[in-house]
Amino acid sequence: MACFLGGGFLSLFWGRRPERSSRFGVGGAVAGSVIGLWPVLQSLGGAGVESVRFAWNVPNGLFHIQLDALSAFFLLPIFILTPLAAIYGGEYMRSFSGRKSLRSHWLFFNLFILGMTLVILARHALLFLVAWEVMSLSAFFLVTFEHEKKEVRPAGWIYLIAAHVGAAFLLALFLVLGRHAGSLDFDQFMAAGPLAPSLSAILFILAIVGFGTKAGFVPFHIWLPEAHPAAPSHVSALMSGVMIKIGIYGILRMMMFLGPPAPWWGPVLIGIGVLGALLGVTLALFQLDIKRALAYSSIENIGLIVLALGVGLWGLTGGHPVVAMLGLAGGFLHIWNHSLMKGLMFLGAGSILHATGTKDMERLGGLMARMPRTGVAMVLGALAIAAVPPLNGFVSEWLIYMSLLNGGLDFSGGSRMILLLTVGVLALVGGMAMICFVRLIGIVLLGTGRSEEARNAHESSPWMTLPLVLLAGCCMGVAVFPRLLILAFSRTVEFVFAIPVESFMTVLNSPASPLTLLGQMNGVIWVMLGAVSSLFLVSIRRRGSRQDETWGCGYPAQTPRIQYTGQSFSELIVTRLFPGAMRPKTRVVLPEGIFPEAGKMTTGYPDTMSRIFYQPFFEWLMERLTRLRWVQQGKIQSYMLYFVVILLAAFAWLAIREWVVHE
């Protein structure tokens, strides 16, 4: 944490030149992550719990941090993705060096990492909330780095409002827990004894809203597709890859304070997960902004994680250990997988934006030939996130399928029907995710360039493509060795849910989920793909190549106008399968008059939840709040009068309450 803090402030105070600022910022982020990896790996290996506690001169404050198995599980993706994103960002931000100062960017980048790290290590509510605020405010300044653009400013404000709505629920959560335990220290939360069922239910709902807003649970997700496209791409990779997972961390940590899970917690999480997965992949299917489509895909994958954890909890409370272990294994593995896959995809999107200056699908195309390293890495990332074997997304979704199918066999009555129907929903989500990423890869990387920017694109520098290659390699490695990854976090599952490591691994290696066999199958597929590719390349080199005309389907020349566009690719599915509320909104202005001017057609892609609920609500609220404008007199005498009136009212209340108590 000292490295993160030092790198940020060195960049601010001694980084007057952009190169020096980037050097300090990148160096601090990389050094802190590398140093932090060793104790994290030790903790995952069973090294025990490490604590630091000392007095903090703040009312009711205590500086108490602790590294345990749950913290180590969530710190590992932070310390893996951060150095890659920082190295990538050092090159990515060069394009701004002549126009903007980079000192504040690298300060807030390092404070952002520091805030996330401290949130996960904090064991006192006040320290937790301070770290949460550092993380949230730093992310706001990173999102609004290009604040001169009109679309960036509202994205930043929406994120900031959502972050503080979530923080308000967390404040209420910790105040109630602190009142029950008599302290704000997490150790006292654990030792306070069982909570009443009604109080536990209230606290669980507060945790779902407070942490779910940060994680992007539907309907609290509206900040996510606004903030991710606005932020620099290496920041988007961290926000999507690790920051939204901190919401999941918070829910798991709170579950440890609330006592044994209630039977209804699992179905609630399943419902939230199904809604998020369906809405996320649906809205991703017709977005034309690459990063916006990836942001909605993050909502989908958070839904899958919550769905898996919900199935695991339901199996745990219902006495079905196999269902519980498969669900928890799938959910925990997908947390790590999504960090790798979404980090790869956002960095790939940033490489395309850096090379072409646009992230609009309709202006791209043909980039595979001009950016082969970026293109191959993005293809692997798209296959992984669409859960196609032999990549890591398939493994975690396989475990989720197995948990649902085993639940459908073990449960009875309505519970069995719910789980079996969820299998169908998960299959639908998987099919739509495949279409979404076939569309993204086909429109952006294949065909011919639709604009001068695409036709003049160039491959990014090795400093930007190396992180892509490493993340793609990690996706392949997890698919081949899933057992090692699950063994690494098995102690985390034991720590949170009291499931013995031996029982956990026995179930995962049983016929219910042949994990070792799955890894071997993926390894064989990779060997076969490598052998076939090698033979193909050798045969091409021996035969040589020649250029001939192909049948042009009656067209005299290939032009970008005869290719599918992003909108036309998904038009059939969107217009025929989706309900009207979820379709893009088209506005047509027809030519009129004797000598008409050109007509115009525009298509908008608004968020369904925002258009139906949030926008009308905030318009209604703004209309009523404007009636209070008379309070803003602009005179200091009026404001002093307000203070005096409020103080007198407070003193009067205290006096009346004291009199009532004595009476």
Concatenate the DSSP letters of all residues of 294-307 into one string: HHHHHHHHHHHHHH
Terminal-to-terminal C-alpha distance of the chain:
55
- Residue 373's pLDDT is what? 93
Cα–Cα distance for residue pair 433/439, rounded to 1 Å:
10
Cα–Cα distance for residue pair 141/73, rounded to 1 Å:
27
Residue 576, number of CB atoms within 10 A of its CB = 8
Q: Which pair of tokens denotes residue 131? A: 């770290």
Task: Look at the alpha carbons of 325, 331, 336, 337 in this order and tell me if their dihedral is positive or negative.
Answer: positive
Q: Which pair of tokens denotes residue 404? A: 């649902």
pLDDT less than 70: residues of the chain: 512, 544-558, 580-581, 662-663
pLDDT digits (tens, 9 = 90+) for 369-414: 899 999 999 999 999 999 998 999 999 999 999 999 999 888 888 8
Residue 618, number of CB atoms within 10 A of its CB = 13
Cα–Cα distance for residue pair 135/144, rounded to 1 Å:
14
Provide DSSP, 331-387.
Answer: HHHHHHHHHHHHHHHHHHHHHHHHHHS--BGGG---HHHH-HHHHHHHHHHHHHHTT
Report the Cα 460 to chain-centroid distance in Å: 25
Which residues, including other chains, have CB under 8 Å from residue 576's CB and lie 6 or more apart? none
pLDDT digits (tens, 9 = 90+) for 593-639: 777 777 787 777 777 777 777 778 888 888 888 887 777 777 888 88
- Residue 550's pLDDT is what? 63
Task: Look at the alpha carbons of 418, 327, 248, 479 in this order and tell me if their dihedral is positive or negative.
Answer: negative
Cα–Cα distance for residue pair 102/97, rounded to 1 Å:
7
- Residue 8's pLDDT is what? 92
